[in-house]
Structure 1
Amino acid sequence: MKRISAVLALAAIMAPSMALAHPHIFAEARLEIVSDDKQEISELRNVWRFDELFSASVVMDFDKNSNAELDPDELQEIGQTVLDSLQEYNYYTTIFDNGKTVKVNKPESMVADYKDGQLLLMFAVKPSETMPLKGKLSFGVYDPTMYTAIDFPTDGDLAPIGDQINACEHKVIRPDPDEVLAENKSSLTDAFFNDPTGTDMSKMFATRIEFTC
């Protein structure tokens, strides 16, 4: 398996030894939540821009002709590798429909690019079930193993797209880690022993956008 798939999935594969590890990969993200004329969520569009150190390691692993660049066929291989690797982790996507967890379908493709020394991944996912714009909806992107830190630099990087969803009240939630720990000290301890991979705990720290429709 290529290094990129191993790195992105390493924490889960090695659990529980990697549980609660600090991030080793950093990415700035943009998430667009798109509604359609049926008053439903149609898709979530993602753009991830990875840190220069990790990006350089990807170049080393996928640069087959040693030209210090990523050619189209090499970028295509990177996209396909990540596409296959992250299916188990729901493509780092967390969706709640009135408190119910909603999975996403596998993307049709994942486009990789390399600009200014950084790897970019672009892809869209669709909810696995119909999501009407009704009640309380929540959307976010996080690595459940906490190995990759996915950051939204501005609130505008969590963007509703479409007149229907923009008509809903919405706000970006950025949990304060110290407050989360203080408010959930006992439950976090129990959660660690019940779920040493950290998948449930990490949701409490994830940046997300919430809608009331």
Structure 2
Amino acid sequence: MRNRLAILTALIACALPHVASAHPHIFVESRLEVIGGPDGNVQELRNVWRFDEVFSSSVLLDFDKNTDLKLDEHELAELGETMRTSLADYHYFTTLTMNGATVGVTKPDVIHVTFKDGQILVFFVVKPDKPMPLKGRLTFGIYDPTMYTAIDFPTDKDLVAEGPAFAKCQHKVVRPDPDEVLSQNSSTLTDAFFNDPTGTDMSKMFATRLEMTC
């Protein structure tokens, strides 16, 4: 079977040449929990993604190797591993900053996948790739820099900070308007960003994010 919508291509390889003309083909409802550790650093980020039914049905066709119209344990594990490998170059769509500087994330140990009520559900944990103390201004967001996947947080309560370490932090959820961002930053967005947004770190301006001051 031709893997026409393998995660390798569908989720990350379809970056369009110009951001202004890009539009999403995959839709995800997301939840992000930012966990503060007892040492005063960000411990981990817990992600839950629910993919739209159209994309989910296509994935079912591609990964249902025994054609029984469901995804068994082994097929789900293969899908999760494909995503874990494919999304590494895109930092798992995770956008972190610490006092304005971008912070990377580590590769998750595993991406858990289930198929429920006709939709793909994905669960995984990433960690900052360096210590991220709860000091100053921090941001946490999920965003596809190719704009091929639209990642939405249905409510502000789906972007949360957990743990007593955040007790002294003030936070808010920011939902940027892409047209406003482009208009307000047209003089600073470079040609490199418009030609290949994945090659820059400017996509953080477009991400729905949790902003925190500690």
Question: Does residue 80 in structure 1 map to residue 78 in structure 2?
Answer: no
CA–CA distance in structure 2, aligned partners of residues 18 and 177 of structure 1: 10
Worse-matched range after superposition: 61-70 or 196-205: 196-205
CA–CA distance in structure 2, aligned partners of residues 92 and 44 of structure 1: 12
How does 1:44-193 map onto structure 2 within 5 Å? Answer: 44-188=45-189, 191=190, 193=191
Instruction: Report Cα offsets for 1:186-211 as digits up to 9, x if no partner.
Output: 334xx2x2231123453222100011
Q: Rate the CA distance shift 1:178–1:117 in 2: closer, same or farther, 3 A.
A: same
What's the CA shift for 1:164? 1.2
Q: Which runs of 4+ in 1 moved over 4 A?
A: 17-20
CA–CA distance in structure 2, aligned partners of residues 194 and 5 of structure 1: 23
CA–CA distance in structure 2, aligned partners of residues 79 and 92 of structure 1: 15
Q: Classify the secondary structure of the residue corresponding to 2:160.
A: strand
RMSD over aligned Cα, in angstroms? 1.7
| Alignment correspondent of 1:11 | 14
* Count of residue correspondences: 208
CA–CA distance in structure 2, aligned partners of residues 27 and 140 of structure 1: 14
Q: Classify the secondary structure of the residue corresponding to 1:186.
A: coil
Percentage of identical aligned residues: 56
Question: Does residue 204 in structure 1 map to residue 205 in structure 2?
Answer: yes
Q: Classify the secondary structure of the residue corresponding to 2:180.
A: helix
Q: Do the aligned partners of 1:19 and 1:198 also contact (CA within 8 Å) in 2?
A: no
For 2:12, the aligned partner's letter is A
Q: Do the aligned partners of 1:19 and 1:197 also contact (CA within 8 Å) in 2?
A: no
Gaps of 5+ in 2: none
CA–CA distance in structure 2, aligned partners of residues 148 and 166 of structure 1: 33
What's the CA shift for 1:36? 1.0
Give the TM-score, by structure 1 length: 0.92
Q: Classify the secondary structure of the residue corresponding to 1:112.
A: strand
